[in-house]
Amino acid sequence: MKQAKEIEDAEKFNFMATVTKAPKKQIQFADDMQEFTKFPTKSGRRSLSRSISQSSTDSYSSDSSDDEEGTPREKHQTNSKGSSNFCVKNIKQAEFGRREIEIAEQDMSALISLRKRAQGEKPLAGAKIVGCTHITAQTAVLIETLCALGAQCRWSACNIYSTQNEVAAALAEAGVAVFSWKGESEDDFWWCIDRCVNMDGWQPNMILDDGGDLTHWVYKKYPNVFKKIRGIVEESVTGVHRLYQLSKAGKLCVPAMNVNDSVTKQKFDNLYCCRESILDGLKRTTDVMFGGKQVVVCGYGEVGKGCCAALKALGAIVYITEIDPICALQACMDGFRVVKLNEVIRQMDVVITCTGNKNVVTREHLDRMKNSCIVCNMGHSNTEIDVTSLRTPELTWERVRSQVDHIIWPDGKRVVLLAEGRLLNLSCSTVPTFVLSITATTQALALIELYNAPEGRYKQDVYLLPKKMDEYVASLHLPSFDAHLTELTDDQAKYMGLNKNGPFKPNYYRY
């Protein structure tokens, strides 16, 4: 028995010795082999970056055809009807994009219901709508709804990274003049907007904007066209701010609808959409675990509130920066510490901006961040993080995934920048379809209202959506939850001084 045990021990020793002497294996790439080191040399970093990702504009949902060299502007494409009045990445993806749109329609029942109710009347007949929004499956449902209601549409993207190429192809195949693809350059971005506006024999009379870039372009480049616009519908904080600036300067010569501050946009899209999509965007790009991570969220508006609620639920330690004492007090009452960014920047694992402002995170902040700090933006504009200051000779940019860059300092410190400081959720992931149905329905009704309003109802100013319309949008979505509203009795309505059919709250009410 003793001899058998000695043999067994010897075999174990021989096995361990063999394992110990086994040569170390290196990670092999397509063209060569490299070992990961803690801080690779500059040449090593560059070749590693190239081997991992050849393109800064890869799409999660695209196929290999998206990797073709050259801009779509250089290609001549036609749809099955022979039309070439569009510019997309690859028209051959149309069938795939159509399936994406059909899937989105299943969770946008309220917008589809509006389409069915109103398409007989064609309330947008004669409307020529030029749009600049994110081009996703959900937006496609909105665009096709507008077309079903009688409008002619020409569309471009408000973000160079958010377009779903296959969806753009499906819209082009259906006859919509769409000019957009994922990964546009800045020059491409403005070229696409201009192609939407500048077409012989076609002049827009309505604008649907997200961020104000389209409105700004028409105002600056085509002032005569701008004066003939019947109405502008804007859905973002940034775009609304620009409209109010025009109005204050006396330069807004058309009525505009501020959809961003409508209850159905602010309290649902801004809050609930961001509460879910912030995690989706961060997980897809970084695989980060949030438990115990220290996160600072710059801004505690509706977007900030949604982000903080999600992060806190996963165990992150969340700090808030704010300029508004009311929002700051709300953050304190919700259990968050309100700080100045300079006070905590060295300890943060994740920095998220959602203010709508500029230079919220500066080069000074970026220099003081610790190694592997993740930096991203949940606001519409790409001005919140000073990305331009990072494009200097002493810093190395390494693309490690689609929309994920490591910015490497001379001492080897890395900061993880997502989507080059652009909107994280729509650049790096997707957003919940149902909540976008609420926003899209609001936008459609705002366009119908402005287009059909009798002369004199709306002057050259910025307006909020009528309360009755907000309530109607909400009521269209309640059947999805099998929700049943309580009805006021005549006596109750008289006591409260309300119409039994609404509106149920005054315009100054804060939900």
235 known ligand binder: yes
> From CA 201, how far away is CA 218, in angstroms rounded?
17
Strand spans (E) along 360-395: 373-377
CB within 8 Å of 303: residues ≥ 6 apart: 270, 271, 274, 354, 378, 379
425 annotated to a ligand binding site: yes
**DSSP of 120-150:** TT-TTTT-EEEEEE--SHHHHHHHHHHHHTT
222 dihedral zone (left: phi>0; alpha: psi -120 to 50; beta): beta
Residue 8, annotated ligand binder? no
Q: Kind and range of the H or E element at 164? A: none
Burial, 313: exposed, middle or buried (Cβ in 10 Å; 0-12, 13-18, 19+)?
exposed
Q: Annotated binding residue at 131?
A: no
Instruction: Determine the Cα–Cα distance for residues 415 and 350; give it in Å rounded to an integer.
Output: 10
Distance CA 419, CA 382 (A): 9
Q: Is 105 annotated as a binding residue?
A: no
Annotation-wise, does 306 bind a ligand? yes
Torsion over CA of 245, 251, 256 and 261, rounded to 10 degrees?
10
DSSP state of 57: T
Of 464, 466, 473, 471, the residue nearest 500 (C-alpha) = 471
Which segments of 309-446 are extended strands (E)? 317-321, 337-338, 350-353, 373-377, 396-401, 404-408, 414-418
Compute the 3-state secondary structure of the chain and give helix, strand, coil in percent, each to the nearest 5: 45, 15, 40
Q: Which helix (H) or strand (E) holds 239?
A: helix 237-248
- Cβ atoms of 306 and 270 within 8 Å: the answer is yes
Give, rounded to a whole angstrom, the gap between the first and last alpha carbons of the chain: 81
136 is in an annotated binding site: yes
Q: Is 194 annotated as a binding residue?
A: no
User: What residue type is 349 in one-letter code?
Assistant: D
- Binding-site residues from annotation for NAD(+): 301-306, 322, 425
- Binding-site residues from annotation: 136, 210, 235, 265, 269, 301-306, 322, 425
- Binding-site residues from annotation for substrate: 136, 210, 235, 265, 269
